[in-house]
Amino acid sequence: MISAEEDVKHLVKALYTASELPSRGKSYSIQCNLFHSDQKVISWKFNEWDYGKNNIVLPCEARGLFISDDKENPRIIARGYDKFFSIDEVAKTKWDWIEKETKGPYEVTLKTNGCIIFISGLEDGSLVVCSKHSTGPRDDVNKNHAEAGELKLVEQLEKIKIDPKTLGAKLYENDITAVAEYCDDSFEEHILAYKDDSAGLYLHGINLNKPNFETWPINKVQEFGENFGFKPTEYVIKEDIKSLKSFLDNCSKTGSYNSKEVEGFVIRTHLFLDNSDFFFKFKFEEPYLMYRQWREVTKDYICTKSRVSRFKKHKFITNKYLDYVIPILDSDPILCEHYMSGFGIIELRNMFLKSYGMTGMEILSHEKLQELELKNAINYDKIDENTKFLIFPVAVIGCGKTTTALTLQNLFPKSWGVVQNDDITGKDKSELMKRSLALLSKPGMKCVVVDRNNHQFRERKELFSWLDELKEDYLPYDTNIKVIAWSFATIDSLDIIKEITKERILQRGDNHQSIKLNEYGEQKTFGIMSGFWKRLQPINSKSPPDEMFDLIIELTVSKDDSSLKNAKTVAQNLHLEFPILMPTIPTDLEFKEAFDKALSYKPTVRKNVGNNNKRNGKDNSYNSVNKKSVRKPNVHAVYYSATIAEQNELINTVVNLISESDINLSKKTSLLEYFDLNKYQREFHITLSHVSSAKNGTQFQKDMWSRYQQHYKPILKKLKDTPIKENVDPNASNILSIDVNDTLKFKLDKLYFDDKIMTATVKVDSECIYDPKGKLIPGLGCSNTVPHITVCILLEGTKPFYSNTLCDSVLANGVVDGIYCIKFNDPKEYNAAVRINL
């Protein structure tokens, strides 16, 4: 048997190995300083979506894992619970699995509603207090959860006259981590209220500092907590699964426990197999779904001053809530500001409930209100002859979505329709949904394919928003519309799709509304296609907006008649899921005839692609000239840059960083919205040297510009008088970028943002450009004082150059109010392609 010390060494080795993985199962680490010690600890974590997967084995399932930065004798300093899931969320939390694999007694603890805090100790008795993934002093956030948790802990110990070192020594001697929930509305509001005497640290677990999850029984936790002044977590014990289910069912009827509103329970038990600890959650849907809905519509109103709310449940009472709160919000801008910062949410909700004279559960159970809700709601579960269907393809160019759609339309010409986005030439993007709903409203029409690539979350969200906004302009309010996705493309299949779709586009030639092969040439056509491949965001059914699909049908792209096969797959899936739409499956002969007819389709609309503004008095639309896109470039370099090829990975890194940061919830939500809507920059690049610095910059910047000009002089000379077929996206500006086959090496450093822009600073060496053979090019580096990547424009109209202003401001004045800073914890070295921009 290996020792505990060897066990931790093996874990650390496995964690470092996992940090080298490209994606699935990848570990991330960040070095943390401690509040009261010169020691450093490493915080380890994984992507949230990697937990609980049968096909991903993680070195440790802990959420919250801090290990001493000691390569010879590493020690687990603090350890959270293994991630646990709600009932029915994964296979191991389905009731039949729980009944078969777990044994009583079942400890049912109240689910507290705050932020998790880990508390452990060092050999000298110093306390180590951690938030989920960080500890120690930080200058990159405006709210340090670990620091706030420690202040509260010291305050509670002072009240009972216990030296903090006494607690620290106790934790160290037993090699354990105390797990508490910090619940305090004066620090951070959640859904349930914690004020005055109810605010504090609720102790709900004590874990052994081991790689495998071992935790104390709740009675020992309570005894420990009582000795050190923690607030107790209420609990009951149920001896068997039958009494457990009965207890949970009774509580869920009222959404409360002992007449008190609670969010749910955490159930702690053991597995039959090896007696190991096993946790799962039981959360109440109501009234918390309703409360969260009220919170979101309030934020929407504050931001937009529009009360158009798109929700399926509680329509009547939510409108009553808005009737009450809107006059208050309109008259109190300070309240609005506090609300968006996460304060006053519960108070405003309680003001409404008091005025209405009912609690949340009374509202939900009141017979008259239930009648009104039913009257104002649609039964989305009822599928009958009045149900309508919309289909959103998720694809890239050449996947065969239109051929698949037309095949099905040919089979059912009276009940199926197709609206092609490429047939719409106006500027109103919502015209796609308007035409689709207009067609769906026609007598006998059951299903319409909204034919667009929809390859990004932003585009799918657009469609759902337009549907909510426009539906009642075309159809009765109580029409139940089911939305189905056709998923043609996944990341795993993208390499195959690229080859097949290239071949298809070559065969298709100009037989398309906008992509004209013979006119654009292969290079530009494939450049446009490449943009779609890079921007592809496959369907993720567990997150918005894709969680709103009623059915997702997985399709494949192959060389031989895949659109015919996909049409059959669609029919088979619809026959199983929605027989009212597909009562019988057509014969193979009928499919073949419909498919052959779809192949003969010829578009009648010519759609302009790109920026059709007139420049310099000339019409630049593609309709105006029937030529390949050729021009003689201006060979005077405007700037030298390095373009990041791994943009999707970098975006994921930024999203993970924001998600796991300690910034307030409303700010975090609004930032992540930009990524959900794909509002980040179309291309990530680092400016290396700009012509403006040759005129107005420092001597260093002027010298750097001269070195770039001198080094790339042969390329600039060769370009002179050489007409170039542009290899750029048709939506790009007049800037022409030339790849020079050299590479910049860099690492991410910090993410800065204010209310206007988000930028990522990077670390580069003073000489950081490498030639194609990997040899360092002397003298070439980055002339910017703070090398950076502009990630997002947060305020419309802000120029990307403002990133320089923000970085220079931080350099001169530090992180002041209104500016946020989060440090990257991924030490990976990225490569970027050096370009001359003419």
**Do residue 509 and residue 557 come from a single domain?**
yes
How far apart (Å, rounded) are the C-alpha atoms in residues 588 and 355?
Answer: 64
Q: What is the mean pLDDT of residues 116-123?
A: 96
How far apart (Å, rounded) are the C-alpha atoms in residues 58 and 46?
Answer: 8
Whether the CB-CB separation of 299 and 352 falls below 8 Å is answered with no
Comparing CA positions, the residue from 319, 347, 323, 324 lying closest to residue 335 is 347
Kindly tell me the burial class for residue 239, based on how many C-beta atoms sit within 10 Å of its own C-beta (0-12, 13-18, 19 or more): exposed
* Residue 382 is assigned to a structural domain of this protein: no
Decide the pairing of beta strands 447-451 and 551-554. Answer: unpaired
User: 832 forms bridges with which residues in the sheet?
Assistant: 644, 744
Which residues in 432-549 belong to E strands, given as ranges?
A: 447-451, 481-487
**Do residue 537 and residue 674 come from a single domain?**
no
DSSP state of 384: S
Going from the C-alpha of 489 to that of each of 458, 555, 729, 795, the distances in angstroms are 16, 8, 21, 33
Going from the C-alpha of 282 to that of each of 249, 251, 447, 793, the distances in angstroms are 10, 10, 38, 40
* Residue 616 is assigned to a structural domain of this protein: no
Going from the C-alpha of 752 to that of each of 672, 807, 819, the distances in angstroms are 14, 8, 7
DSSP state of 46: E
Q: Cis ω on the peptide bond leading into residue 333 (within 30° of 0)?
A: no
* Residue 617 is assigned to a structural domain of this protein: no
Q: What is the model's pLDDT at position 187?
A: 84
Whether the CB-CB separation of 298 and 292 falls below 8 Å is answered with no
Q: What is the model's pLDDT at position 529?
A: 66
| Torsion angle (degrees, nearest 10) of CA 252, 255, 258, 264 | 80
DSSP state of 83: P
Whether the CB-CB separation of 118 and 314 falls below 8 Å is answered with no
Give the SS3 label for residue 784.
coil
**Do residue 81 and residue 132 come from a single domain?**
yes
What distance lies between CA 403 and its chain's CA centroid?
A: 32
Give the SS3 label for residue 167.
helix
* Residue indicated by tokens 């296609």: 529
Q: What is the mean pLDDT of residues 482-490?
A: 88
CATH number at residue 250: 3.30.470.30
**Do residue 15 and residue 103 come from a single domain?**
yes
* Residue 111 is assigned to a structural domain of this protein: yes
* Residue 610 is assigned to a structural domain of this protein: no
Give the SS3 label for residue 86.
strand
Q: Is the pLDDT of residue 220 over 60?
A: yes
* Residue 608 is assigned to a structural domain of this protein: no
Q: What is the model's pLDDT at position 620?
A: 35
How far apart (Å, rounded) are the C-alpha atoms in residues 253 and 516?
Answer: 61
Comparing CA positions, the residue from 634, 574, 612, 656 lying closest to residue 45 is 656
Q: What is the mean pLDDT of residues 478-493?
A: 83
Which tokens is 646 given? 């791994």
Whether the CB-CB separation of 213 and 207 falls below 8 Å is answered with yes
**Beta-carbon contacts of residue 365 (< 8 Å; ≥ 6 apart):** none
φ/ψ of 576, rounded to 5, equals: -75, -45
| Torsion angle (degrees, nearest 10) of CA 716, 718, 721, 727 | -80
* Residue indicated by tokens 């504090």: 200
Left if phi > 0, otherwise alpha if psi is -120 to 50, otherwise beta: which for 790? beta
Element (H, E) at 418: strand 416-420
Q: Is the pLDDT of residue 761 over 90?
A: yes
**Do residue 550 and residue 695 come from a single domain?**
no
Give the SS3 label for residue 603.
coil
How far apart (Å, rounded) are the C-alpha atoms in residues 168 and 824?
Answer: 30
**Do residue 92 and residue 66 come from a single domain?**
yes
Kindly tell me the burial class for residue 562, based on how many C-beta atoms sit within 10 Å of its own C-beta (0-12, 13-18, 19 or more): buried
**Do residue 423 and residue 540 come from a single domain?**
yes
How far apart (Å, rounded) are the C-alpha atoms in residues 684 and 184?
Answer: 40
Highest mean pLDDT among 96-105, 625-634, 714-723: 96-105
**Do residue 149 and residue 295 come from a single domain?**
no
Q: What is the model's pLDDT at position 837?
A: 85
Which tokens is 416 given? 């199926």
Which tokens is 16 given? 């470092």
Quote the percentage of the chain above a pLDDT of 70. 85
Last-in-domain residue among 325, 343, 372: 372
How far apart (Å, rounded) are the C-alpha atoms in residues 748 and 764?
Answer: 9
Q: Cis ω on the peptide bond leading into residue 232 (within 30° of 0)?
A: no
Instruction: Tally Cβ neighbours within 10 Å of residue 543.
Output: 11
Decide the pairing of beta strands 630-631 and 639-644. Answer: unpaired
Q: What is the mean pLDDT of residues 440-444?
A: 90
CATH number at residue 659: 3.90.1740
**Do residue 664 and residue 585 come from a single domain?**
no
Q: Domain count of the chain? A: 4
Q: Is residue 53 annotated as a catalytic residue, yes or no?
A: no
Instruction: Tally Cβ neighbours within 10 Å of residue 343.
Output: 18
**Beta-carbon contacts of residue 253 (< 8 Å; ≥ 6 apart):** none
Whether the CB-CB separation of 282 and 249 falls below 8 Å is answered with no
Q: What is the mean pLDDT of residues 138-148?
A: 77
Last-in-domain residue among 283, 316, 351: 283
Q: Which of 282-296, 422-436, 662-676, 769-783 has the lowest mean pLDDT?
A: 662-676
Condensed to tens digits (0 to 9), the pLDDT of residues 666-682 reads 678 778 877 766 678 88
Condensed to tens digits (0 to 9), the pLDDT of residues 350-398 reads 999 999 988 887 887 775 566 666 655 666 778 899 899 999 999 887 7
What does pTM read for this prediction? 0.50
Which tokens is 105 given? 């007694």
Comparing CA positions, the residue from 33, 68, 227, 266 lying closest to residue 146 is 33
**Do residue 352 and residue 413 come from a single domain?**
no
- On the CB side of 653, how many CA atoms lie within 13 Å of its CA? 25
Going from the C-alpha of 765 to that of each of 152, 594, 644, 694, 769, the distances in angstroms are 43, 61, 17, 21, 9
Kindly tell me the burial class for residue 387, based on how many C-beta atoms sit within 10 Å of its own C-beta (0-12, 13-18, 19 or more): middle
User: 279 forms bridges with which residues in the sheet?
Assistant: 268
The rounded mean pLDDT for the chain is: 83
Q: What is the model's pLDDT at position 679?
A: 77
Give the SS3 label for residue 491.
coil
Last-in-domain residue among 346, 372, 398: 372
**Do residue 650 and residue 523 come from a single domain?**
no
What distance lies between CA 125 and its chain's CA centroid?
A: 40
**pLDDT interval class at 723 (50, 70, 90):** very low
Q: What is the mean pLDDT of residues 509-532?
A: 52
Whether the CB-CB separation of 34 and 128 falls below 8 Å is answered with yes
Q: 516-530 burial, b if ≥16 CB within 10 A, otherwise e?
A: bbebbbeebbbbbbb
How far apart (Å, rounded) are the C-alpha atoms in residues 95 and 238?
Answer: 16
Give the SS3 label for residue 682.
coil
φ/ψ of 375, rounded to 5, equals: -65, -30
* Residue indicated by tokens 């009675």: 219
**Beta-carbon contacts of residue 707 (< 8 Å; ≥ 6 apart):** 779, 780
User: 277 forms bridges with which residues in the sheet?
Assistant: 270
Q: Is the pLDDT of residue 254 over 80?
A: no
How far apart (Å, rounded) are the C-alpha atoms in residues 537 and 648?
Answer: 9
**Do residue 394 and residue 277 come from a single domain?**
no
Q: Is the pLDDT of residue 501 over 70?
A: no
Whether the CB-CB separation of 388 and 402 falls below 8 Å is answered with no
**pLDDT interval class at 502 (50, 70, 90):** low
**Beta-carbon contacts of residue 778 (< 8 Å; ≥ 6 apart):** 767
Q: What is the model's pLDDT at position 527?
A: 59
Comparing CA positions, the residue from 46, 42, 29, 34 lying closest to residue 75 is 42
Condensed to tens digits (0 to 9), the pLDDT of residues 693-713 reads 777 778 888 889 989 988 988
How far apart (Å, rounded) are the C-alpha atoms in residues 470 and 463?
Answer: 10
CATH number at residue 425: 3.40.50.300
Q: Kindly report the CA angle at 419 between 416 and 421, in degrees rounded to 5?
A: 155
Q: What is the mean pLDDT of residues 714-733?
A: 54
The one catalytic residue in 45, 111, 524, 607 is 111
Element (H, E) at 769: strand 769-770
Q: What is the model's pLDDT at position 730?
A: 35
Domain containing residue 821: 632-837
**Beta-carbon contacts of residue 65 (< 8 Å; ≥ 6 apart):** 43, 44, 45, 76, 78, 79, 80
* Residue 332 is assigned to a structural domain of this protein: yes
* Residue 623 is assigned to a structural domain of this protein: no
Q: What is the model's pLDDT at position 724?
A: 45
Q: What is the model's pLDDT at position 632?
A: 44
How far apart (Å, rounded) are the C-alpha atoms in residues 548 and 466?
Answer: 14
